[in-house]
Structure 1
């Protein structure tokens, strides 16, 4: 199953073919591929090279830990994420190591690291679905996350599964076309809301 982005302008095939499925196969993710996607996250740019990201990883090889993370997800996300072979949490360190001050870019940098992870996953045939729908405080308690760190997203990683196994409400989401706002809705110049109107954009 492919859901290629219908882009306004050309982009790299990895970006065009990346999407977030709900139907995952229970096929095990090879350790070398998992380490590869984490290595891609490792080499992400960050403010002052602080690298404020951490990842908590669970796999079905350790069902107790996997179920602990699954139990932090919303009920809707549990419906489909239970089939993914890998569940993760991304976590942001909220203060700089260099001076102890607040790092207001921490969430940005963690997001950038996960974006690198996602593209590397796509390159090696894996799919990733990031989730905002999880209980942050429960995750903090279950995994002993310190106070100066903040859980950011839950993440499912694996191979594509059969969408027909999804409940009807989730199947409709899975089969729906991908959509995005057009560039003119968020690319501005001069004043807020004034589209960056280049000659190529007028074609």
Structure 2
């Protein structure tokens, strides 16, 4: 029996694009559905065209499909309850920021720019019917070791991507989170000055 999912469209304080209001981060991924390679390529292409300071493009991605050794290595580096659900995602992506240039100069906006690239990726993926969930709970050093990531690069987030699954397949505590209403503080509380 499927767990009902509430309407996930955000109740916004001001009008936004429908794709932004509809985007959300599920934990239930379809374990038997593969990702469409063209849709994955489009999501990565959207990330490629994100803006960056001085066009440095300080993002790199480790892209691993379910069933591969790379997917397993990323899954093994996840911590806590992320391991309970993220392995079902068709693709796991390690989003990495180049925080120092090859000559040793700091790239202070690299993490911000990577965030923009992942945001572009997530919107394109959602547009194409895929779902994205970003995670901060992972072992950075394990990922560095697993993929030979140099010290001047920083793994910032792990992204689960794929077709949505049935929340009933999740552990009970996560089923409750999957069906919980989406909430955000009011826009006015995010403004320091306006």
Measured against the shorter chain, the TM-score band is over 0.9
Q: What corresponds to 2:97 in structure 1? A: 92
For 2:80 and 2:125, the matched residues in 1 are separated by: 26
Q: Which has the higher contact order (CA 8 A, sep 6+)?
A: 2
How much does 1:165 deviate? 1.2
TM-score normalised to structure 1 length? 0.89
Q: 2:179 matched to 1:184?
A: no
Rg: which structure is higher?
Answer: 1
Please give the root-mean-square deviation of Cα atoms over the aligned residues, in Å: 1.2
TM-score by length of 2: 0.93
Contact 1:50 1:96 in 2 (8 A): no
Residue in structure 2 matching 1:166, options 152, 158, 170: 170
In structure 1, stretches of 5+ residues that fail to align are: 190-195, 197-203
Q: What are structure 2's unaligned runs of at least 5 residues? A: none
The answer as to 2:36 corresponding to 1:30 is: yes
- Please list, as runs of the form range in 1=range in 2, the aligned pairs for 1:12-161 lying within 5 A after superposition: 12-26=17-31, 27-62=33-68, 64-96=69-101, 100-161=104-165
In structure 2, C-alpha distance between the alignment counterparts of 1:125 and 1:119, rounded to whole Å = 10
Measured in 2, the distance between the counterparts of 1:14 and 1:80 equals 25
For residues 121 and 41 of structure 2, what CA distance do their matches in structure 1 show? 10
Distance 1:14 1:182 in 2: 20
Per-residue deviation, 1:140: 0.7
Provide runs of 4+ in structure 1 moved above 3 Å.
Answer: none
Q: How many residues align?
A: 188
